[in-house]
Amino acid sequence: MTPRLPGVWVHLRCPREVTVSRCWDSGRGRLRQGSPPAARSAVFGFAGSDTMAATVRRQRPRRLACWALMTVLLADLLALSDTLAVMSVDLGSESMKVAIVKPGVPMEIVLNKESRRKTPVTVTLKENERFFGDSAASMAIKNPKATLRYFQHLLGKQENNPHVALYKARFPEHELGFDPQRQTVYFQISPQLQFSPEEVLSMLLNYSRSLAEDFAEQPIKDAVITVPAFFNQAERRAVLQAARMAGLKVLQLINDNTATALSYGVFRRKDINSTAQNIMFYDMGSGSTVCTIVTYQTVKTKDAGMQPQLQIRGVGFDRTLGGLEMELRLREHLAGLFNEQRKGQRANDVRENPRAMAKLLREANRLKTVLSANADHVAQIEGLMDDVDFKAKVTRAEFEELCADLFERVPGPVQQALQSAEMKLDEIEQVILVGGATRVPKVQEVLLKAVGKEELGKNINADEAAAMGAVYQAAALSKAFKVKPFVVRDAVIYPILVEFTREVEEETGVRSLKHNKRVLFSRMGPYPQRKVITFNRYSHDFNFHINYGDLGFLGPEDLRVFGSQNLTTVKLKGVGESFKKYPDYESKGIKAHFNLDESGVLSLDRVESVFETLVEDSPEEESTLTKLGNTISSLFGGGSTPDTKENGTDTVQEEEEGPVEGSKDEPGEQAELKEEAEAPAEDTSSPPPPEAKGAAAPEGEKATEKDGRDKPEAQKPSEKGEAGSEGAPPAPEEEKKQKPARKQRMVEEIGVELVVLDLPDLPEDQLARSAQKLQDLTLRDLQKQEREKAANSLEAFIFETQDKLYQPEYQEVSTEEQREDISGKLSATSTWLEDEGFGATTAMLKEKLAELRKLCHGLFFRVEERKKWPERLSALDNLLNHSSMFLKGARLIPEMDQIFTEVEMTTLEKIINETWAWKNATVAEQAKLSATEKPVLLSKDIEAKMAALDREVQYLLNKAKFAKPRPRPRDKNGTRAEAPLNASASDQSEKVIPPPGQTEDTKPIPEPEKETAGPEAADSEPLELGGPAAESEQKEHPEQPTGQKGTLKNDEL
């Protein structure tokens, strides 16, 4: 039987018009084009070309399908590899940090264009250009009105919010317009330029993505963005809208305190064990202060076993306590000192000059930093106002006196965090400082006294911890990376409840309205999670309200800043129609499915009207086709689990409904919800009582689905929520047990109309217009950058070329006339660039540059070739010498052990001789030419000759590397016989090297006899020099000389 040969594989994957000989030659074989048909059939093991053509025709459809599949898979892999990187943006009040994760770069902070690790959150908007980061910060003094800072404080705020008035007082140079549609404000830069805070934030997010893409060298769309823990629903939705305008896919809005805690835990994974460790993080940044209590311990997970976990136990915050307020106090102090110095000069108040106030704010920022390490410092500003310099000495004591009331507020967030966590200071093991403002000595002093610890922890990067934790979460959420699991259990800061009103009948027969409240997500409860509220006593359309719960932990001022405490009014439509549609069914209530996602944003997924009834369960009603479909479904995995339901959406919800394990919902509240028949809340985290089995118990519903598995076939398409079986039919014994009746469940979708009460989102058309406006601005910036790059390239080329014309190496290969011609064109272009270059387009600049390069191409080419000649010629000589030595050594191998054919050695010798002849002739011809003429000795030709010669040598080296010893035949006495001499040289010159596994003979190799042990061992397993086969052979024939080696078959490559 002829074995399958590699040659067939090569042939079947060649195009139809390519001959077999070409295919084998491209595979590094030695069967050349034009070889006789007998030789080709011998190599591939076919009797003739007709058989091979028929085989190709039969394999072509299958081959095309395989190639198409491979092409699609390769395209998908290439597309996936281009977008593997993910990023995180730690969006602070004063500065932001960007981090990325990509293959080979785990968790790295991105450097901006100034090679800094953090970038100012500053945007300068002018009529024809935009500036970001450090460039915008430098423009704050020149154009303070167009430079926007701390605009995040306006996100999600209506015009009557106290923070809007505070922003106007802090930065009076900005003109804020009023949006009557959303009751919000926007920045009025000029009559033509106006931007909302969401649009400004979108610009900054787009800029951060450009920094990340330049650093990662690939496009990035997925991101995790940090937000303050005290952001409410309106503020979080505003950030998501800004990211949507920027074209970012937000994997999660993570609280900055949670990201910091995650970063701390990830780098201390080994220190976390089953014993709970309570750590307090005190984060005082530029705009706010947040104190967080986190518990670390290992927990048992369902999929990964014991894994570390962090749980947010308590959170306290102060929205306005931070470094910015300290700097504003210093700025006011410096402004007063400057006015006192010019008191008798009838000068204007420095506070009325926006540029002077911007200079004072920058100096106050520097002064605060210096006073953190020094007892006093001199503040000085050159030309503060009216060309008058300012210089004043400020001590740390004066600074602390200015901010005395701020330092008194430092312990406030600590007490709030302890109260929300229901813990005492003794339970806190360590207090860790985070944020730039914690570097102020007085802050550390007051905090240390408040927590009662010996020292404060400073073993974390206060600036980059949140960015590193967020990018770790981004890698965990991305499907492109696999990270070590770290369970994160964030906490709800503001409780959310559902309010509704229904009529009740009292004992006297008088009907009255009763107002009901049900807590949906309790304070400090974990999220993400899903919840279901069931309304039982409604048979007509009704409304209910989603509001914030008890916010008594907030002070009066914080409540004013918080904004509206009413979130949404939900209007249901279609409840009465659903009851009319199923008059014979028992209502199980109107179920509203809520979702608090990973970003802390609440959404109403759907509202359903659920009905149940008892139906006869007769196995005879089931048709043969239904049974066959159930059987096939079970074979392919459909309905294999007992909890599978026909309504796939309902199945997912039933599995995910209810709080995350360990919810802080009050037990009394859960009991009330279960006992209250009017509007019980479904909660899959705890088993329901028997009497609530049908109304509000997911487990009871699952059990009902199991009982009602075999439903009738005839059902309406609108009954998408009905429960039926997609799995295998029950066994006959189980059918007998389920004879009497079973429950059938119907689910009808209810129409929902949402009325947003806190802050209306941007309409879709306005959102699209804003996104398009930002894209146009980005395109304009890119075009401007491209034009500047073209102008710089043209100017640089002119200066560099003018300098090169006077260098000896360029004068050697050019004539005086050529240099004068080039110099004249360069001077003319330089003059044009100075006179008309400012109005020239990018295309004109590129065209001028192309003309100059074409003019100077010959000169540059001759210089570059002369630089490459010595190295290239030396490398060619070395390769020729080594190849000649290799060929000489190959010819000295004894004929018995020869592994190279005469054709191969002759081919190598021919290439060596041709290369020597070409090199000598070309060098001699080049020597006759003048240095100013076009050279004939080209470096690319030298490299091509080297590549051809090196390819032949490498082929022979690889063949020798993988060659096997040729086994020696044995005579009847058991000794090895000498192998017969090969044919003459003329015969050897026509020999070919067949593919592995086939001898030179045209006939198939017969199987060896069992008595011949040598060839059998050679065919059964590969032989290796010094391997076990060689050792056993030496033991069997000790009299054989060690220097004698087995011959190598020609078919064993």
369 or 647, greater pLDDT: 369
- Residue 1030 burial class via C-beta count within 10 angstroms: exposed 0-12, middle 13-18, buried 19 and up: middle
Q: What is the pLDDT of residues 606-624, one digit of tens each?
A: 999 999 888 775 554 555 5
How many whole angstroms separate alpha carbon 300 and alpha carbon 311?
Answer: 14
Sign of the torsion formed by the C-alpha atoms of 545, 550, 555 and 558: negative
pLDDT value at 1000 more than 80:
no
| Helix residue ranges per DSSP H, 760-901 | 764-804, 808-812, 816-836, 842-891
- Helix, strand and coil content of the chain, in percent to the nearest 5, comes to 45, 20, 35
Distance CA 444, CA 437 (A): 10
pLDDT at 835: 87
Q: In what order do the strands lie in the sheet with 130-132?
A: 130-132, 122-125, 147-149
CA–CA distance, 997 with 964 (Å, rounded to integer)? 12
Strand partners, 253: 225
Average pLDDT, the chain: 77
Cβ atoms within 10 A of the Cβ of 362, count? 17
| Separation CA 79–CA 155 (nearest Å) | 36
Instruction: Give the 3-state DSSP-derived string for 32-50, with helices as H, strands as E and coil as C.
Output: CCCCCHHHHHHHHCCCCHH
Query: Given the structure tokens 């108040």, which residue do they identify?
Result: 349
Backbone angles phi, psi at 590, to 5 degrees: -100, 115
CB 612 within 8 A of CB 751: no
Structure tokens belonging to residue 811: 């004068």
For residue 214, give every residue at least 6 positions away whose Cβ sits within 8 Å of its Cβ, in sequence order, or none: none
Taking Cα atoms as reference points, which of 419, 568, 571 lies closest to residue 496?
568
Q: How far apart are the first and last CA of the chain?
A: 21
Q: What is the pTM of this model?
A: 0.71
Burial class (CB in 10 A: 0-12, 13-18, 19+), 195: buried
**What is the reported pLDDT for 793?**
94
Tokens of 120: 């100012």
Instruction: Give the pLDDT score at 703.
Output: 33
Q: Which amino acid is at 611?
A: F
CA–CA distance, 616 with 618 (Å, rounded to integer):
6
Contact by Cβ (8 Å): 673, 516: no
User: Which position has the token pair 């993400």?
Assistant: 528
Lowest model confidence (mean pLDDT) among 92-106, 318-332, 704-718, 846-860: 704-718
Mean pLDDT across 925-943: 92
pLDDT recorded at residue 617: 59
Count other C-beta atoms under 10 Å from residue 765's C-beta.
8
Tell me if 645 sits within 8 A of 651, measured CB to CB: yes
Residue 343: DSSP 8-state? G
What pLDDT, in 10s, does the model give residues 287-297?
999 999 999 99
* Cβ-proximal residues to 433 (8 Å cutoff; 6+ apart), any chain: 282, 444, 447, 456, 457, 458, 460, 462
The two tokens of residue 734 are 């189980």
pLDDT band at 23 (very low <50, low <70, confident <90, very high): very low
| pLDDT value at 634 more than 70 | no
- The region that residue 327 occupies, defined by phi over 0 for left and psi between -120 and 50 for alpha, beta otherwise, is alpha
Helix (H, G, I), strand (E, B) or coil at 273: coil
Residue 1020 clears pLDDT 50, i.e. is over it: no
| CB-based contacts of 895, cutoff 8 Å, min separation 6 | 981, 982
Nearest to 251 by CA among 275, 279, 223, 281: 223
Q: What is the pLDDT of residues 247-270, one digit of tens each?
A: 999 999 999 999 999 999 999 999
- Cβ contacts of 425 within 8 Å, gap of 6 or more: 418, 451, 452
pLDDT per position as a tens digit, 169-216: 999 999 999 998 889 999 999 888 899 999 999 999 999 999 999 999
Contact 659, 528 (CB under 8 A): no
Residue 666 has pLDDT above 60, yes or no: no
Three-state SS at 745: strand
Do residues 942 and 915 touch, judged by C-beta distance below 8 A?
A: no
Among candidates 715, 714, 696, which has minimal Cα distance to 704? 696
Q: What pLDDT shows up at residue 226?
A: 96
- Give the separation between CA 718 and CA 517, rounded to whole angstroms: 33
CA distance 435 to 442: 15
Number of Cβ within 10 Å of residue 594's Cβ equals 21
Could you report the per-residue pLDDT of 51-108, keeping only the tens digit for each? Answer: 444 444 445 555 555 556 665 555 555 445 456 899 999 999 999 999 999 988 888 9
Length of the chain: 1053
In angstroms, rounded to a whole number, what is the distance separating the alpha carbons of residues 26 and 657?
Answer: 62
- Which SS3 state, helix, strand or coil, does residue 1039 take? coil
Q: What is the pLDDT of residue 191?
A: 87
Type of residue at 388: V
- 513 against 546, higher pLDDT: 546
Percent of the chain with pLDDT over 90: 54
Strand order in the sheet with 496-505: 511-521, 496-505, 543-548, 566-573, 751-756
CA 295 to chain centre: 28
φ/ψ bin of 291: left (φ > 0), alpha (ψ from -120 to 50), beta (otherwise): beta
Q: What's the confidence (pLDDT) of residue 742?
A: 78
778 neighbors 628 (Cβ within 8 angstroms): no
Over residues 782-837, the pLDDT tens digits come to: 998 899 999 999 999 999 999 998 999 999 999 999 999 999 999 999 999 988 88
The residue to which tokens 């080329």 are assigned: 797
Tokens 């490398």 sit at which residue? 875
Tokens representing 23 are 């295919």
Mean pLDDT, range 32-41, rounded to an integer: 38
Note whether 748 and 718 are within 8 A (CB): yes
41: Cβ–Cβ under 8 A, 6 or more apart, which residues?
47, 48, 49, 52, 1002
Q: What is the mean pLDDT of residues 935-961?
A: 92
pLDDT of amino acid 633: 54
Query: Whole-angstrom Cα distance, residue 416 to residue 450?
Result: 13
- At 958-999, the pLDDT tens digits run 988 888 777 766 655 555 544 444 444 444 444 444 444 444
pLDDT (0 to 100) of residue 6:
34
